[in-house]
Amino acid sequence: MKYDIFNGDADGIIALLQLQLANPTDTVKVTGVKRDIQLMKKITPQEGDCIRVLDISMEKNMSELHEALSAGARVMYVDHHKAGDIPAHANLFAHIDLDANMCTSLIVSDLIDKQFHLWAITAAYGDNLFAKADSEADELNLTDLQKSQLKAFGTYINYNGYGSEVADLHFAPEELYELLLQYKSPFDAINDKKSVYYTLELAYKADMEKAANAQVVHDCDTAKVILLEDAAWARRVSGVLGNDLANQSPNKAHAVFTFNNKGSYLVSVRAPLNNKQGAVDICSKFATGGGRAAAAGINELPKSQVESFVEELVGYYK
């Protein structure tokens, strides 16, 4: 069997998109909402299987990775999240870069000689790596209009990945990947007035308009915490709203709380854009937390721990 296991956000989808555009391969796709990251649990590897894992933390999938390698599977692992101790194994081909200004799609782009680098730039914008994406775009002499289009596209694809379950999303991640696969360049999709770009644009703008009235739980010089209502639209904007707030106030950390369907909160955290570190350290102090230095989250934060979380967030960046 051949498996592609990938995060359901812009970075995960576009990482796979590039690999498939470069070398079309028939594989079993395994994905989910952005926060569904323990995806290796969803397969039972056998000897001789080929597995590509894209944009999910190795640390969060470590036991399943060891099982796959022990079973005799070959694993290509590409990521930029907290990795833990990378196993030394002949069947593991790890491409891990924890630089706060890197994303999985940029790593993939380097692996395939930048054949579809416009897509990688789109993913970088979607991962809120605006400065890095601008720099990569400038090397290709893209116009301001082209950069703004790729920034919007990356944001829309990323926005689609957020939700407690796939039913919250406009498109299931695998479906969105298939819709994008017909376009060798993001500009091909943007130039197609019937493409998913325009469907997501309308949905994104409608949801963000609702988010403008969100409840502010805490606001000080170092951090701002927002609570969204219990609704599908709120779960969809939880990540992109954090990015938007971070860009508005680059010296502040931001956290967006949304209700999940388990009686607790899903938390999306952004480190200050001018100090892109610490997000994963804060979130990892809580049972279901993880991520990377610049952006991290907690899947299930009990209501009893909200005050403790806010103290950790504010205290870290004082």
- How high is the pLDDT of residue 262? 84
Residue 171 pLDDT grade (very low, low, confident, very high; cuts 50, 70, 90): very high
Residue where a domain stops, chosen among 133, 168, 200: 200
**Residue 298 main-chain phi, psi, to 5 deg:** -130, 125
Q: Are residues 158 and 278 in the same domain?
A: no
Residues whose CB falls within 8 Å of the CB of residue 241, separated by 6 or more in sequence, listed in order: 208, 211, 214, 226, 228, 256, 268
Q: Are residues 78 and 159 in the same domain?
A: yes
Q: Are residues 43 and 132 in the same domain?
A: yes
Give the pLDDT confidence of 134-160 residue by residue, as tens digits.
Answer: 999 999 999 999 999 999 999 999 999
Q: Are residues 100 and 127 in the same domain?
A: yes
In the numeric block, the tokens 């359901």 are attached to 8
CB of 16 within 8 A of CB of 6? Answer: yes
User: Is residue 231 assigned to a domain?
Assistant: yes
The string over 99-137, giving b where at least 16 C-beta atoms fall within 10 Å of a residue's C-beta and e elsewhere, is ebbbbbbbbbbebeebebbbbbbbbbbbbbbbebbbebb
Domain count, the chain: 2
Give the pLDDT confidence of 46-58 residue by residue, as tens digits.
Answer: 999 999 999 999 9
Task: Specify the 3-state DSSP secondary structure of 298.
Answer: strand
User: Is residue 63 assigned to a domain?
Assistant: yes
- How high is the pLDDT of residue 175? 98
Mean pLDDT (whole number) for 252-268: 92
User: Is residue 146 assigned to a domain?
Assistant: yes
Q: How far apart are CA 184 and CA 63, in angstroms?
A: 36
Residue 268 pLDDT grade (very low, low, confident, very high; cuts 50, 70, 90): very high
- How high is the pLDDT of residue 164? 82
Identify the weakest region by mean pLDDT among 22-31, 73-82, 159-168: 159-168
Q: Are residues 39 and 142 in the same domain?
A: yes
Q: Are residues 304 and 220 in the same domain?
A: yes
Q: State which H helix or E strand residue 136 sits in.
A: helix 130-139
Residues whose CB falls within 8 Å of the CB of residue 135, separated by 6 or more in sequence, listed in order: none
- How high is the pLDDT of residue 261? 77
Q: How far apart are CA 47 and CA 266, in angstroms?
A: 37
| Mean model confidence pLDDT for the chain | 96
Q: Are residues 16 and 98 in the same domain?
A: yes
CATH code of the domain containing 240:
3.10.310.30
Q: Are residues 8 and 138 in the same domain?
A: yes
Residue where a domain stops, chosen among 200, 232, 267: 200
168 to 12, 34, 234, 236: CA distances (angstroms): 18, 12, 10, 7
Q: Are residues 235 and 161 in the same domain?
A: no
The range of the structural domain enclosing residue 304 comes to 214-317
> Which of the 8 DSSP states describes residue 305?
G
Residue 202 pLDDT grade (very low, low, confident, very high; cuts 50, 70, 90): very high
User: Is residue 209 assigned to a domain?
Assistant: no
- How high is the pLDDT of residue 258? 92
Tokens coding 257: 């709380």
pLDDT greater than 90 at residue 87: yes
Sheet holding 223-227, edge to edge: 215-219, 223-227, 253-259, 265-270, 295-301, 289-291
Mean pLDDT (whole number) for 98-108: 96
User: Is residue 207 assigned to a domain?
Assistant: no
> Which of the 8 DSSP states describes residue 295?
E
Q: How far apart are CA 318 and CA 231, in angstroms?
A: 33
Which regions of 33-146 does DSSP assign to beta strands (E)? 50-54, 74-79, 92-96
pTM of the predicted model, to two decimals?
A: 0.86
**In angstroms, how far is CA 232 from the centroid of its own chain?**
18
Q: Are residues 101 and 225 in the same domain?
A: no
Residue 239 pLDDT grade (very low, low, confident, very high; cuts 50, 70, 90): confident
Mean pLDDT (whole number) for 271-288: 96
User: Is residue 245 assigned to a domain?
Assistant: yes
User: Is residue 256 assigned to a domain?
Assistant: yes
Q: How far apart are CA 79 and CA 98, in angstroms?
A: 8
Among candidate residues 60, 47, 58, the one with its CA nearest the CA of residue 91: 47
Q: Are residues 40 and 134 in the same domain?
A: yes
Tokens coding 294: 């610049």
279 to 165, 171, 294: CA distances (angstroms): 24, 28, 6
User: Is residue 208 assigned to a domain?
Assistant: no
- How high is the pLDDT of residue 119? 99
- How high is the pLDDT of residue 163? 86
Q: Are residues 18 and 152 in the same domain?
A: yes
Residue where a domain stops, chosen among 200, 233, 266: 200
Neighbours of 14 (CB within 10 A): 35
Residue 238 pLDDT grade (very low, low, confident, very high; cuts 50, 70, 90): confident
- How high is the pLDDT of residue 75? 98
Mean pLDDT (whole number) for 251-272: 93
Q: What is the percent of the chain where pLDDT is above 90?
A: 91
